[in-house]
Structure 1
Amino acid sequence: MALRRAGHDDVLVLERARAVGGTWRDNTYPGIACDVPSHLYGFRAHPNPDWSAVYAPGDEIRSYLEDVARAEGIRPALDSPLWSAVWDGSERHWRLTVGGARPRVVRAAVLVLACGRLTEPTVPDVPGLDGFAGPSFHSARWDHAVDLAGARVAVVGTGASAVQLVPPLARAAAASGGRVTLFQRTPAWIVPRGARPYTDDERHRFDDDPQALAALRAELYAEGEDRFASRSGDPAAAARAQAVAQAHLAAQVADPALRAALTPDYAFGCKRVLLSDDFYPVLADGSVRLEPSALVRVAGDTLVADSGRRHRADVLVLATGFASSRQPYAELVTGEGGETLAQHWSTGMTAFASTVVSGFPNLFVLNGPNASLGHNSSVLMLEEQAGYLVRCLDRRGADGVLRVRPEAERTWTAEIDAAAADTPWVRGGCENWYVDRRSGRLTLLWPGTVEAFRDRLAVTDGSEFE
């Protein structure tokens, strides 16, 4: 959208799947929904007055993305996975090998990687997992052909996906005589979600009065920015937010032993703070059996926990997250000197402005190093990166090549490291997917507000390039 609005019409969009939608196409598990308010999750240029709820369900977001693509006239080349991208210095362009059964070569002056960060499911290395006696699948690859009626279902993981899918699984199990067991390696801080549908009157008002819709978006944005303090370690703000989470747990779980098992022992904000109104109740009423330790071994239909307890299951669901700090596409991209992006990022992802990388001319990475958020909508970051991309293209010289100075990338990275050093993400006493374990660096999250990111990009003047 940003490129076309800036007059760049020669744009080819490659999509490896057979439809658009990204994570909202791939994730179809029961209860899937966004944990960012609907009216803040959409694009600024495409407000949607007809969101059905404060937090939109996944299929509705997918439909929204399809509608935006149609409205913008974006027709991606579907079923076109990227196999390799190599910078050709003599011709000053990227040479891409793309396509399914019959790959083809595409040449591009500029390469934009908009591959997302939560695309490749992570499957834990558990002995015997491959030999599980029943159906087994990741939450991001939900197998709707599996009949769960009356089944003993085990769920591994208590992150964002698990807190959404466990309650509907529990309700279905209760109705059919089944049972759900939840393996929890580490509990999460959970705050009230406050989910509700929008009324017909509200949706009509948003449709009739665009200013009311804009005011709501501004209000939601401000609320998100205010959350940064509690997530990033401000003592007073973190204490207030943690008290909200503890009160939420106490109100919904009366049993002190269960409550203790569900209470984190790490700093608020260290891991992703989750939102749910119905996760705790299904544990409290016995609909879900909590195993407060990790899955360490599988023997047929028996799941062995780190506690030594054994649980039999008919179906195994892995809600175990994604490859985040080591992006799969990095192996496919080769820059100057034959270095791959994965090699460049061997101790953690880095980029100037979270977008451009030294040694990789005319390459832009959206939603890449330090471009995610733990407090607000990442769509806002994407829009700022897109604006920066357009400004960079306008700065190309006669040869059309933009080369990031290594010193500029190092300086930006040092600023990130300094800003992150004393945050809960790095020092909060937990393992999270924001930090690269190889170096201990914060590589996923931007350690500041959206406004700070916007201001930082606004003052870039092209001196980051040779």
Structure 2
Amino acid sequence: MSGIDFGTGAPDAARPDYEVIVVGAGFGGIGTGIALQRKGIHDFIIVDKWDRVGGTWHANTYPGVAVDIPSFIYSFSYEQRGDWSRIFAPGTELRDYAEDMVDKYGLRGKLRLNTTIVAADFDDDSSLWRLTTDGGQQLTARYAVLAIGGLERPKMPDIEGVNDFGGTLVHTAMWDHDVDLRGKRVAVIGTGATALQLIPAIVEETAHLTVFQRTPIWVFPKNDSEVGLLGRQILGRKRIRSALRAVGNVGTELAMSGMVAGPAWLTDTSRRLAEVPVRQWMRRQVDDPVLREKLMPKYGLGCKRPSMSNDYLKTFNRTDVSLVTDSIARITENGVVTVDGTEHEIDVLICATGFKLWEKGSVPPFPMRGRRGIDLETFWDEHRYQSYQGVSVPGFPNAFTITGPYGFVLGSYIWMIEATAAHLSRAIAESKRRGATEIEIRQEVHDEYFAKCLRRQEKNFLFTPACAGSNTYYIDDHGDSPFRPSTHGEMYWQNRHFDLDVYRYTVGAPVRAASVVLSEEAL
């Protein structure tokens, strides 16, 4: 099978402004730019709505923000550092790390910041993508890459009256550093990983802090510390640093990806065994027995992302901190009313309510129309989230994603970025080598991969009674878990060594099919 379709002899497709346009200048966009350069592709730009790079780590600046995976793991394998200030680096250091990557790999001149893409349309006649900016400008490229992360589009709570609140309203992903919390009655809605970092960081400032909890979070002790001179000398040695990284990778593999990729009997047993010491440690942090039980998860460990903190649970021992587990009925001008009729009067309302991930209107965050105007959001809404290795979708030629469905193995996002960036850069380089104007994942290959992911999902413990009531974002609005049910090793290997003929390459003017066929077998 040659993998090449020859056109009908029509004129060559129009020449675009750029060979590749990458949307997003977070770690995904930076990793994509480096991967493209390594394949000899230099005619590209990286577009981002923000005024500087960093993505998630530029958008999220709330007090206490930090990485929850050790910094020597949460970094590119080819750009490891030994000068982190802490084992779990604060968000500003991750943002600075992104800036350093941009300069070291010569990407500064590729950036187009303060530019928001509002639409992307595939031009069937010219075999190129037309991207429209918020300023009305149109940018064209042979290939388009969506490197848009999921942890920067804030999700406000769907609560009656939230916009009627008369005090200060802020979401953690849009933190207002001019807000003064000193001496204020402050409420936090949410007890996920963000709130776990935020609450201990602000409690010393507030007059009274009220935390509204829907679902308690699993909390691990955080073995964090400053990386002093000796630590930097140790981490500065490449072999030692690589060895520590390897050990950390194996631990993360077993603790996270192993929970969804391993056999059910093993994952269930290991999960139950791991819960015992964690529950014991959590209970020791809280003095009041009634309050202690309210903070204990009733769902299984691993059903939603756990986090680490040495201070979060202890915060509830304070007399100036209240935990409210009654459901919120509505928000008024003066505060929050719970279903028991109590109005909690506050001055500042902080929404630590997460981000828009697998939701209609957010994936992707703008209309993206492929062959014959098929809208990507509509396709996913009607046919479930799906893509080949998180990178390619049939009907969307010359388009690739970094964080697409069934591409991310639970663990460090950086591992996925390296894998999917390697995949798409390899595909684009092959398309160029063949002189193709279009590259598109073959329908049957995509369907086989999607069906395989769904089969593996059947043994995923996320769908067992152990996860009932967890309200996990690991499951989308279709009832699927669009994370890749595999190990990191499998993700690493398959993205770098897939058969290049899984794609169809069109040379010259393409022959247009009557329609894009959607296989029902994989749906």
- 1:130 corresponds to: 163
Note the 1:18-417 alignment, pairs <5 A: 18-75=51-108, 76-98=111-133, 100=134, 102-173=135-206, 178-207=207-236, 209-228=237-256, 231-232=259-260, 234-326=267-359, 327-329=362-364, 331-347=366-382, 348-374=384-410, 376-396=411-431, 397-417=434-454
Indicate which of 437, 447, 453 corresponds to 2:485: 447
Deviation at 1:302, TM superposition (A): 2.4
1:403 partner SS: strand
Q: Give the Cα separation in 1 of the matches to 2:428 and 2:258.
A: 37
Flag the 1:6–1:229 CA change in 2: closer, same or farther, 3 A: closer
SS in 2 for 1:214: helix
Tell me what 1:419 maps to.
456
Q: Name the SS of the counterpart of 1:250 in structure 2.
A: helix
User: Contact (CA 8 Å) 2:60, 2:152: kept in 1 or not?
Assistant: no
Give unmatched runs, 5+ long, in structure 1. none
Shift of residue 231 of structure 1? 3.8
Equivalents in 1 of 2:51, 2:500: separation in Å?
A: 38
For 1:185 and 1:423, the matched residues in 2 are separated by: 24
Amino acid aligned to 2:92: D
Question: Size of the alignment, in residue pairs?
Answer: 456
Distance 1:109 1:300 in 2: 51
CA distance, structure 2, for counterparts of residue 415 and residue 330 of structure 1? 28
2 CA distance for matches of 1:307 and 1:240?
38
Deviation at 1:229, TM superposition (A): 6.3
Instruction: Give CA deviations for 1:292-343 in whole Å, capped at 9, x if unaligned.
Output: 1332201221211234432111000000011100334354211002111101
> C-alpha deviations, 1:370-420, integer Å up to 9, x for none?
23343x211011101111112212332433311112222222112112212
Q: Comparing 241-250 with 388-397, which one deviates more in the overlay? A: 388-397
Judge conservation of contact 2:52–2:113 (CA < 8 Å) in 1.
Answer: yes
CA contact (8 A) 2:199 2:312 kept: yes
In the alignment, is the contact (CA less than 8 A) between 1:139 and 1:317 conserved in 2?
yes
Q: Which residue identity lines up with residue 391 of structure 1 in the other structure?
A: R
Higher relative contact order at CA 8 Å, sep ≥6: structure 1 or structure 2? 2
Letter in 1 for 2:172: S
Question: What letter matches 1:432 in structure 2?
Answer: T
Q: CA deviation at 1:464?
A: 2.5
Contact 2:117 2:366 survives alignment (8 Å): no
The aligned residue for residue 509 of structure 2 is none
Query: Alpha-carbon deviations, 1:115-172, whole Å to 9, x = none?
Result: 1112211111211111111000101111111111100000000001000000111122
Larger Rg: 2
Q: Secondary structure at the residue paired with 2:182? A: coil
Distance 2:257 2:119 in 1: 41
Q: Distance in 2 between matches of 1:253 and 1:226?
A: 29
Q: What CA deviation, in whole Å up to 9, does each residue of 1:15-51 have, x standing for no partner?
A: 1111111111111111000001101111112111100
Q: Distance in 1 between matches of 2:457 and 2:341?
A: 38
Question: Which amino acid in the other structure matches residue 231 of structure 2?
Answer: E
In the alignment, residue 371 of structure 2 is paired with which amino acid? Answer: E
Q: What amino acid maps onto 1:136 in structure 2?
A: L
Equivalent of 2:474, from 405, 424, 434?
A: 434
Q: Which amino acid in structure 1 is aligned with residue 408 of structure 2?
A: S
For the 8 Å contact 1:171–1:287, the answer to whether it is kept is no
User: 2:277 and 2:427 mapped to 1: Cα distance?
Assistant: 43
Unpaired runs of at least 5, structure 2: 1-33, 505-523
- Separation of aligned partners in 2, 1:424 and 1:154: 34
After superposition, the Cα gap between the structure-2 partners of 1:68 and 1:52, relative to the gap in structure 1 and judged at 3 Å, is same
Q: Are the counterparts in 1 of residues 41 and 429 from structure 2 also a CA contact under 8 Å? A: no
Question: In structure 2, what is the Cα distance between the partners aligned to 1:63 and 1:311?
Answer: 40
Percentage identity across paired residues of the two chains? 32
Task: Tell me how far apart the structure 1 counterparts of residues 325 and 259 of structure 2 sit (CA, whole Å).
Answer: 25
The structure 1 segments of at least 4 consecutive aligned residues displaced by more than 4 Å after TM superposition are none
In the alignment, is the contact (CA less than 8 A) between 1:15 and 1:78 conserved in 2? yes
- State how far apart, in whole Å, the 1-side matches of 2:132 and 2:57 are: 26
Amino acid in structure 2 at the alignment position of 1:435: I
Q: Aligned partners of 2:169, 2:355: CA distance in 1, in Å? A: 17
